[in-house]
Structure 1
Amino acid sequence: MSKGPVIAVGTVVVMVLAVLGWFQLRERIADQGVEAADTCVEGTAVIPVTVDPDVSSQITRSAADFTATAPVVRDHCISLEVTTHESTQVANALAADVASWDDSMLGPLPALWIPRSSDALVDLPVGTVDGTPRSVASTPVVLAVPGVVAEALDAADIGWADLPRLQSAPDGMDTLGLPGWGGLRLRLPVGPDSESSAAALSAVAATTYDSSTPVPASELVRRSSTATALSALATTDRGTPSTTTESTDSALGMLSRDSTPTSDVHAVPVTEQQLDASAQSGLTAYAPSGTTPIADHPAAILAREWTDETSRRAAAQFVDFLRQPENAQMFVDSGFDVGEPPSGSPAVGIAAQSALVDAVLDPATTRRVTTLLDISGSMDTTEGSNTRLDNTVAALDQQFGSAIDSSELGLWVFSKDLDGTRAFRTLVPTGPIDEPIDSSTRREQLIAAAGAVRPATATSTYEAVIASFLDAQETYSPGKPNSVLLVTDGPNDDTTITSSRFLSTLSEMVDPTRPITIDVVSIGTNSDGSTLQSMSDITGGSFTTVGSSDGAELPDLLRKLLH
């Protein structure tokens, strides 16, 4: 018998056994890998999750359910640690220097953050959020109102843009077929759990400008249309502030207890879910027409230096877990919507919302102010990258542009011999700021006139003040503060009138039936400060020194005095 076939068969057998051995070895290696992963060879990774109180109970329960599935990510057993904090607090802390993060106040820096709405994400540094956050639960911001009010608002198709008019008009609700109800009497809680108030203000503000273009927070309330709307919302038809330091629940309770025409409150901003979950009865949700703000609770996976690949992957897995239909049902049971929310008001950011709330807490008021601007040679002094005069004109332009529609403003300048032998000149007579003048408005003329001024020579302050004060008396407008705003940087150098004679003359001119205050803004060092202070005291005005025209101090002060 030949040995060849036997050797061949033996070789085949050996090869088969070798292949089988390799497959068994590979399976053992794979099994060992799975076993190593299942036993978390890298240990346990605790993933910090921070959530808004709105969804705290649901997220906490889901986190426990997720951890119970024994998830493993990159050889780490995953455990979630959920803490609950107001979105505004977390947003401000994340936007600031992370080194200032206070664990004792806010818990550990999160790998996953679920705020109340996407507004909280706007001001975060670039690169803070990994990918596009997805909503885990949403609910629109509405107005809680008595049923009869909801019917009237719905019949008139009242939108967010209509709220300022209904708030300020004594017969706002009467025009909707509710005689005796007065104005809207929208109550704006700014205490605990009151984010819906800021969201409602954002919705109203969005109707006053092209909201498709992002507006910086610092600029938002400087728009005259926005400032006018917020000013109207700040006070009810009864002359009382619309804001309250109470919580939204407290405001709802007040409305529920008295929903009659004579009540101090007819409407409260609230999320639809919050209203449904409240214990208050007799209230109905009304959604004003227009783009509605939504509390969309986005799941933001953070990608900053305190997170790593493991924490981000684990956070992403938990977000997927939350959005699975069987797990999302707990949000539905709590009154939330799930899935992709409808498009709502553009996110404006926490800083912008804070500015809107501040504008209602300290609203612009209707005033009649004649600005008396020093254009003497010393105003040509350079401060920063521009002259004092240029800086002052820029600051004034901001205020002229943002003054509310009911304001009455005017602009005079003074130096020496500006109008013949007179030391002053009226550039724009004081009157309603949006009153048509020729082919423009007084507002436009104020901005144009201020931009055209140039430094002159001397400083005849006393003559100009006496003239402007007399004009303010002769054109006095009752029912609002009337004032002269003097902006100067140096002493009077007109020797034809002494300071004592000036103050004596001014004292004799004061008329209690037509009160005119003189407010002084003095730039830099002014040796005439004591006289100007006495002048302000005589008229009940104010005297303020700013160290420089460069920076935010001057425009902030002018805003206070002109608005």
Structure 2
Amino acid sequence: MGRHSLPDGRRTAAADPRPRARRRTVALVTTLVLAVAAGAAVAVRGGFLPFGDSCRDDAVRLDVVAAPAVTPALKDAADHVRERDITSDGHCMDIRVTAREPYKVADELRRDGSKARYDVWVPDSKVWVQRAGIGGGQARVSPAGNIASSPIGVGMLESAAEKLGWPRKTYTWSQLAGASPRADAPRLGAADPARSASGLLALTKLGASARASDAKDADTRAAATAKSLSSRTSDSDGRLLDTLARDSSSAERGNPRRNEALILSEQASFAHNAAADEQQALDLFYPEDGSPVLDYPYTLIRENELSTDQSRAALRFMTLFGEKPGRRILAEHGFRTDGERPSAGLVTAAGGRTPQPYAQEPGEAPSDKAVQETLGLWTITVQSARFITVVDASDSMRQLVPGRGESRMDVTKAALLQALAGFTDDDEIGLWEFATRLDGPRDYRELVPTGRLGDRKGDGTQRDRLTKAFGALRPVPGGATGLYDTTLAAYEKAHKGYSRGKFNTLVLLTDGVNQDPGSISRAELISRLRALADPEKPLPIIAIAVGPDADEREADQIARATGGSGHEVDDPAQIHSVILKAIVQAGTQQ
């Protein structure tokens, strides 16, 4: 690797070769300098130290919110702009940076972006920009480019890394996560994928790694991996580092509450090692099947409402990070910058060594669909779920899906079986079917009562019974769509069986509109659903309109009466993805 090769020794000598006495002297001097600098910074922000005379009267103010990890670098860049009187079209720039967790900003923007009181948002990943747009809210976000990057890996205490042969031995994600049958796999912690891009992107990669084995139970294994990881998650990336064993003593290593390994970004490991003592420093594995990357998108908020001066100032601040001073600032904080390979110093300080593939080009980024599926899987894995699945069995379900040579029912059954594989044994699922007058005067019939998938009864488990029942679903000859009575009855049943601590929902699949003239009206159905809906016991309907004959607007109207959502799919094969996306959407509203 030429100049990018790393030394074989450990990072401690490379990180800071100075004697401790000298470190203390430097620390005292640094403290005095920082105190003076801090006072100056307060004075500037308070208006006591003016900008240069040439532009102080018309400085353009920009309010920036950023992920906590990148906030210090942005503040240093804002200070650089102020100290050097860097201007935009002759105007000074008054840039104020505030740290906020990206998931909170994304949810805020998704609910109502018009209430945002900031001009620029720099999350750590584009997944939050995508999440801000889920659900058709009022978010107005305009990514303008990426200012930095940092690959995600697995950091370990020295004792754990040595057991696994670091740095000379490499592993895939699934192996590092303990999916391999090693009994001595280190305890692995991660930040909550619902709140951390590092956790979410790593979990997406873990699922892909498990599926790459082509095992028939790959989806089940991916769910099991997520379930295992969920027992060791932290609320945020910052709190994750607090779970690390304090030293390499046997007592600490044996403490089940302490992690020996963490999923985190290279930059987070860099920052941790800069402040940690030798006992808590991390060695960093870069998985051989590729590291997902945090990409720090620089995003304008309500761009059409910004003044011309604000827009140009915002873009001028962004371009600073493509220039030498901005790249230097980012590198000092442990970030990689566009257009250059990682330096040996950065990787060494972060805990990397050759032959770990730290300089490997990142693979193709996961699709938005893959990320949403992973987040949906995580939601039901962590909370566990209680579902009643209600499937349209009307005669129209025998129609062929264009281009597939299979009926709507056949493809729907395959999609449901795929979804079932993603649930754990702690989840509770039941199955209903409906048409018209399917069970005497009723339009619906309960095929499998709701129960825990792992519970055994007779010769098989609840999962076995559902698998068999899904496979036996058949369109009812001459059956029409008895939608309204069925929806109300199933919702009442789900409401009575509500289970606290689980994600409760009713999944409704239909390929048509209500065709039972003797049923209640749509208005009455919606009124009764609203009366049953209880914010203290959230029970959203996920209504999926399958095929061209279904009414998506009606499905959405029915679902929203319960806090749920309606979706349209042209191909029933999309059902699995839609269910997981709807779970994410419902989960962010609770």
Structure 2 residue corresponding to 1:54, chosen from 66, 69, 72? 69
Relative distance call for 1:287 and 1:313 in structure 2 (3 A) is same
**Cα distance in 2 for residues equivalent to 1:192 and 1:96:** 17
C-alpha contact (below 8 Å) 1:193/1:248 kept by paired residues: no
The residue correspondences of 1:11-160 to structure 2 (distance < 5 A) are 39-40=54-55, 43-101=58-116, 108-110=117-119, 112-123=120-131, 128-129=141-142, 131=144, 133-135=145-147, 137-151=148-162, 152=164, 157-160=170-173
Relative distance call for 1:147 and 1:99 in structure 2 (3 A) is same
Q: Quote the offset at 1:232 in angstroms.
A: 2.5
**Cα distance in 1 for residues equivalent to 2:448 and 2:298:** 60
Q: What is the match of residue 402 of structure 1? A: 419
Relative distance call for 1:548 and 1:91 in structure 2 (3 A) is closer
Q: Secondary structure at the match of 1:187?
A: strand
The residue correspondences of 1:501-540 to structure 2 (distance < 5 A) are 523-524=486-487
Q: What is the match of residue 313 of structure 1? A: 312
Q: What is the match of residue 362 of structure 1? A: 383
Q: Deviations over 1:322-347 (max 9, x none)?
A: 33324432332333323337535515
Q: Quote the offset at 1:46 in angstroms.
A: 0.9
For residue 338 of structure 1, what is the amino acid of its counterpart?
Answer: T
Q: What is the match of residue 428 of structure 1? A: none
For residue 151 of structure 2, what is the amino acid of its counterpart?
Answer: P
Aligned length: 390
Structure 2 residue corresponding to 1:270, chosen from 241, 264, 267? 264
**Cα distance in 2 for residues equivalent to 1:86 and 1:463:** 44
C-alpha contact (below 8 Å) 2:67/2:101 kept by paired residues: yes
Q: Quote the offset at 1:45 in angstroms.
A: 1.8
Q: Secondary structure at the match of 2:73?
A: helix
**Cα distance in 2 for residues equivalent to 1:407 and 1:474:** 20
C-alpha contact (below 8 Å) 1:52/1:116 kept by paired residues: yes
Q: Quote the offset at 1:117 in angstroms.
A: 2.3
Q: Quote the offset at 1:454 in angstroms.
A: 8.7
Q: Deviations over 1:40-98 (max 9, x none)?
A: 59833212222221121221122122023334434533321222211222233334432
Q: Do residues 346 (structure 1) and 355 (structure 2) align? A: no
Relative distance call for 1:395 and 1:42 in structure 2 (3 A) is farther
**Cα distance in 2 for residues equivalent to 1:316 and 1:70:** 16
Q: Secondary structure at the match of 1:116?
A: coil
Q: Deviations over 1:415-450 (max 9, x none)?
A: xxxxxxxxxxxxxxxxxxxxxxxxxxxxxxxxxxx9
For residue 129 of structure 1, what is the amino acid of its counterpart?
Answer: S
**Cα distance in 1 for residues equivalent to 2:270 and 2:379:** 29
C-alpha contact (below 8 Å) 1:58/1:330 kept by paired residues: yes
C-alpha contact (below 8 Å) 1:523/1:549 kept by paired residues: no
Q: What is the match of residue 233 of structure 2? A: 243
C-alpha contact (below 8 Å) 1:234/1:363 kept by paired residues: no
C-alpha contact (below 8 Å) 1:234/1:243 kept by paired residues: no
**Cα distance in 2 for residues equivalent to 1:163 and 1:359:** 23
Q: Quote the offset at 1:251 in angstroms.
A: 1.8
Q: Deviations over 1:360-398 (max 9, x none)?
A: 413589x9x9x99896xxx6699xxxxxxx999887554
Relative distance call for 1:311 and 1:343 in structure 2 (3 A) is farther
Q: Quote the offset at 1:299 in angstroms.
A: 2.8
Q: Deviations over 1:235-294 (max 9, x none)?
A: 27xxx9233447212222468676647756342111222223222615321121222122
C-alpha contact (below 8 Å) 1:95/1:124 kept by paired residues: yes
The residue correspondences of 1:319-334 to structure 2 (distance < 5 A) are 319-334=318-333
Q: Deviations over 1:458-511 (max 9, x none)?
A: 559999889xxxxx854235xx87767999xxxxxxxxxxxxxxxxxxxxxxxx
For residue 277 of structure 1, what is the amino acid of its counterpart?
Answer: A
TM normalised by structure 1 equals 0.54
Q: Secondary structure at the match of 1:288?
A: coil
Relative distance call for 1:553 and 1:254 in structure 2 (3 A) is farther
For residue 232 of structure 1, what is the amino acid of its counterpart?
Answer: T
The residue correspondences of 1:314-463 to structure 2 (distance < 5 A) are 314-340=313-339, 342-343=361-362, 346=365, 354-362=375-383, 397-404=414-421, 459=440
C-alpha contact (below 8 Å) 2:62/2:314 kept by paired residues: yes
Q: Do residues 203 (structure 1) and 214 (structure 2) align? A: no
TM normalised by structure 2 equals 0.52
Q: Secondary structure at the match of 1:109?
A: coil
- Structure 2, unmatched stretches of 5+, are 1-51, 134-138, 341-360, 398-406, 450-455, 471-484, 511-539, 545-563, 566-574, 580-590
For residue 130 of structure 2, what is the amino acid of its counterpart?
Answer: V
C-alpha contact (below 8 Å) 2:66/2:123 kept by paired residues: yes
Q: Do residues 232 (structure 1) and 225 (structure 2) align? A: yes
Relative distance call for 1:41 and 1:49 in structure 2 (3 A) is closer
C-alpha contact (below 8 Å) 1:60/1:82 kept by paired residues: yes
Relative distance call for 1:127 and 1:526 in structure 2 (3 A) is closer
Q: What is the match of residue 288 of structure 2? A: 289
Q: What is the match of residue 400 of structure 2? A: none
State the Cα RMSD in Å: 5.5
**Cα distance in 1 for residues equivalent to 2:78 and 2:95:** 6
Q: Quote the offset at 1:406 in angstroms.
A: 9.5
C-alpha contact (below 8 Å) 2:223/2:422 kept by paired residues: no
Q: Deviations over 1:94-147 (max 9, x none)?
A: 34432243xxxxxx321x33221233333456983264x132x33221112233
Relative distance call for 1:65 and 1:347 in structure 2 (3 A) is farther
For residue 64 of structure 1, what is the amino acid of its counterpart?
Answer: D
Q: What is the match of residue 244 of structure 2? A: 252
C-alpha contact (below 8 Å) 2:65/2:98 kept by paired residues: yes
Q: Quote the offset at 1:191 in angstroms.
A: 9.5
For residue 251 of structure 1, what is the amino acid of its counterpart?
Answer: T
Q: Secondary structure at the match of 2:336?
A: coil
**Cα distance in 1 for residues equivalent to 2:390 and 2:289:** 43
Relative distance call for 1:356 and 1:288 in structure 2 (3 A) is farther
Relative distance call for 1:99 and 1:545 in structure 2 (3 A) is closer
**Cα distance in 2 for residues equivalent to 1:71 and 1:276:** 30
**Cα distance in 2 for residues equivalent to 1:533 and 1:274:** 44
Larger Cα-atom Rg: 1
C-alpha contact (below 8 Å) 1:43/1:75 kept by paired residues: no
For residue 355 of structure 1, what is the amino acid of its counterpart?
Answer: G
